[in-house]
Amino acid sequence: HERNATGSLLPANGTAARIDWIRSRMPLYLVMGSVNCRQAPDQVLEQAIAGGITLFQYREKGKQALCGQEYVELARRLQDICHKHQIPFIVNDDLELALELDADGVHVGQNDEPAEWIRQRLGPNKIVGVSAHSLKEASRAIAAGADYLGIGPIYPTSSKDDAEPVRGTEVIQQVRRSGLTIPLVGIGGIHEHNAAPVIHDGADGVAVISAITAAAAPAEAAKHLKKAIAQRL
Ligand code: 3NM
């Protein structure tokens, strides 16, 4: 196995091959930190990979979030698991950690460091993801060099304290209707029984926290989500 799941494999910026590659990673995107897990995060991630997730984001946020050395150590362990299975490892909102670990990319929200800056610091060989909650934010993120968008919250979520108002798939539809073809996932309250409309309305995949991390059997939960999505792709 290659140590870096993407790195040299990621096609050059602006090419159709790169966009296809990123899109192929969108179907089932697990976002997770220790706070979200009922079992050891390492085990949840292993099971989620066994169940078929295609991309992973380390998002260590919330009151009980790890910090300092523990935060970095968990990141390293989860990155190792991702590498072992060739799943790209994305870091949420922490450029310095991503650089230190040589992560595959960074995901930022609207209140985090600007995407232009993230792209400039990471260079062209890494993945930059941006959360967008409107067509305007989506267009700006694309201009800033985003490789993919996370659009949400699609449904009510209890995994993010400062979530924006629920918009259903409206913003995804607006983005697609305006002709933007950038790879994108829907996020927020998505589970196996409500994932299909998200894909139907234009997303390339779904990003989930609790549907997998809070499941009694994360591998089964991931498998069922994968199935619900595949029926629509
Ligand atoms: N971002 P769950 S919603 C991390 O709307 C995150 O941008 C959102 O968790 C956004 O799958 C969200 O448990 C939480 O609802 C997703």
Phi-psi region of 190 (alpha: psi -120 to 50; beta: other; left: phi over 0): beta
User: Residues of 46-61 as b/e, b for ≥16 C-beta within 10 angstroms?
Assistant: bbbbebbbbbbbbbbe
The pLDDT score that the predictor gives to residue 233 is 55
Q: Does the annotation mark 18 as catalytic?
A: no
Q: What is the mean pLDDT of residues 27-43?
A: 97
The residue whose C-alpha atom lies closest to atom 7 belonging to ligand 1 is: 152
Average pLDDT over residues 112-136: 96
2 CA distance to ligand 1 middle (Å): 31
Ligand 1 centroid – CA 1 distance (Å):
31
Mean pLDDT for the stretch of residues 120-148: 97
Annotated binding site: 57-61, 92-93, 112, 131, 157-160, 189, 209-210
| CA–CA distances in Å: residue 139 to residues 84, 133, 187 | 35, 11, 18
Active site residue 160: yes
Active-site residue flag, 3: no
Supply the mean pLDDT for the chain: 94
**What residues flank ligand 1, with Cβ below 6 Å?**
31, 131, 150, 152-153, 157, 159-160, 163-164, 187-190, 208-211
Model's pTM, two decimal places? 0.96
Question: According to the model, what pLDDT value does residue 8 have?
Answer: 55
E-state strands within the chain? 28-32, 55-58, 89-92, 105-108, 127-132, 148-151, 184-187, 205-208
Q: Which of 59, 126, 167, 226 is catalytic?
A: 59
Has residue 204 got a pLDDT over 60?
yes
Binding site for Mg(2+), by residue number, is 93, 112
The H helix count followed by the E strand count for the chain is 10, 8
pLDDT in tens, 155-175: 999 999 899 999 999 999 999
Nearest CA to ligand 1 atom 4: 160
